[in-house]
Amino acid sequence: MAALESDDPGSVGAYQLISRLGAGGMGRVYLGRSPGGRLVAVKVVHAELLRRPEFRSRFRREVQAARSVSGAFTAPVIDADPDAPLPWLVTSYIAGPSLEQAVAEQGPLTPPAVSALAAGLAEALVSIHAVHLIHRDLKPSNVLLAEDGPRVIDFGIVRSVEGDSLTGTGLLAGSPGFMSPEQVAGAGITPASDVFCLGAVLAFAATGANPFGGGPTPALLYRVVHGEPDVDSIADPALRSLVSACLAKDPAARPTPHQILAHVGPLAAAHTPTRVGPAHTAGTAAPGGGIREYSPTQVATAALPLARPATRLDTTPPTLQPAPRPAPSRRRFLLAGAGTAVAALGVGTGLWLTRDGESDNEGAGAVVSPTASAAHLPQPVGDWPLDETSGDIARDALGGNDGTATGVQWQDGAAVFDGTSGQIVTAGPVIDTSKGRSFTVSAWVRLSAVPDGFATAVSQDADDHSCFYLQYSGDDRQWAFAGATQRAVARTAPAAGVWTHLAGVCDGPGRRLRVYVDGVQEGTVADTTEAGGSLVIGRAKYSGAPADFLPGAVRDVRVYDRALTSAQIEELKLTP
């Protein structure tokens, strides 16, 4: 959620706009308020779409069709004006994070939570298909996690089974990685296409990754059409069977939403353990479609009471702890899921999404209070503008932790490092990075060249290695924030010569690291940091020696003795 900007309207129709929720290919989405005080989501269509003469008539037909969808797991259309200068659409506001953001921040869901998700999404597809519509863009960012279950949103490219689509010849309707083979190939689309997308969404929820991998869009689309999905990391055999069935290349071999609902619905609805499958049998698609059955085993279901009151718009979801992961070597850290929010973080998602073995109060120290999510920035404990013009002292604007610069040039209000020996080191520790302590570190960074190995912008020395690293990861070729054994990896590919705002957040009580790129959280991982010594700009320490020297420039380094919220990180990026 972000504040309205100067080019945003103050109202649309009879709806007052409060803030921005996000944007997509069809338009920009705002949080609004109806004349009666009801919170709504208002989508305003992009002006460039109006250049197509047929757009308004098609949009009008799509609105009429979408209004016919009703169901517990969809966001109903409330109002629309296809004839407005910029056409708009109003739906119910669903308070909760997207599946994409929930997985990015908290890790993959447990099997019971994925089963509950599958049931809710299958029921949503039943409602959509019942009125002869196909969603065609079911993906993690279009699934919101409300306190009482998931909601499918964004009917922006939905089409009638009997009518035209909103896309022109030669254009793909959908999102790479969450499209069916027939969508990619431009073949006829049936409701089975949504089932394939559902399988990809469930695989993402269960593993934190797309079942067809990542990389360039053409390669990803090729694997969707010709490759086999990677479902081996889905530990639960019943879920693996469900996902495999949904991802069948042949549309006729996929189960229908009704079959999926019949298979997993009781698991989500019952308040007692439900039989779904054994622990050691691989699941596959059954011949002729459907889901292969297994001998029964007990799996606990997810209850629905709220973890905390859902009364404020500025609250954040409760911290959800994934299962502990093994600690690999520094050069083989686990890659965390990454994602950005398209919807506002309104309220907690409820215990239907709670991790195994957690009580309502577990990890409470990591939950941000309602008032803390406002974008007010606290006072940093260290602030290095790095705007010197000469000398070997990097001034701490707060006066207590000046750094000694070696092999550094001062140019255009920044410290320039040569990538071989340049560094700025404080005389002693600036922040407490011991286990259980929270902190935030941020910097503006510009690479002179994208390095082949690691390059660290900010770190804090320890005896043998740095206790944290805000860096470019040569293994992942992405920005990252690393701790004792793991690193949270971003998804924005760095480019040489571009100023980028980086921030690393350590949530000590929650034992999580988060990495932000240009104000947006892009990765998270379960880890903590160790106690350290001097703060270092321009390099790290590894195997007892200086390492990972940065080739490029750094300015405006700031550290805080607390975990800043996403709103505060966004504000920090805008703070001179």
Label the pairing between strands 27-33 and 39-45: antiparallel
- Tokens of residue 340, six digits: 């950005």
Separation between Cα atoms, residue 106 and residue 320, nearest integer Å: 6
Residue found by looking up tokens 């009471």 in the block: 305
Q: Is 21 helix (H, G, I), strand (E, B) or coil?
A: strand
Residue found by looking up tokens 């459907």 in the block: 290
Q: How many CA atoms lie within 13 A of 435 on its CB side?
A: 4
Q: Phi/psi of residue 414, each to 5°?
A: -150, 160
List the one residue out of 316, 342, 363, 380 whose CA is nearest residue 566: 316
List the one residue out of 98, 97, 94, 96 whose CA is nearest residue 38: 94
573 assigned to a ligand binding site: no
Q: How far is CA 308 from CA 68, 289, 346, in A?
A: 34, 41, 12
DSSP state, residue 395: -
DSSP state, residue 368: P
DSSP state, residue 324: P
What's the longest Cα–Cα distance across the chain? 75
247 sits in the region (left: phi over 0; alpha: psi -120 to 50; else beta) called alpha
Report, as residue numbers or ranges, the catalytic residues.
137
DSSP 105-139: HH-SPPHHHHHHHHHHHHHHHHHHHHTTEE-----
List the one residue out of 32, 45, 36, 138 whose CA is nearest residue 84: 45
CB 403 within 8 A of CB 396: yes
Separation between Cα atoms, residue 174 and residue 178, nearest integer Å: 7
Separation between Cα atoms, residue 81 and residue 427, nearest integer Å: 63
CB 120 within 8 A of CB 262: no
- Tokens of residue 242, six digits: 């469900």
CB 548 within 8 A of CB 504: no
Summary count for the chain: helices (H), strands (E): 9, 30
Instruction: Summarize the annotated binding site as residue ranges.
Output: 43
Instruction: Summarize the annotated binding site for ATP as residue ranges.
Output: 43
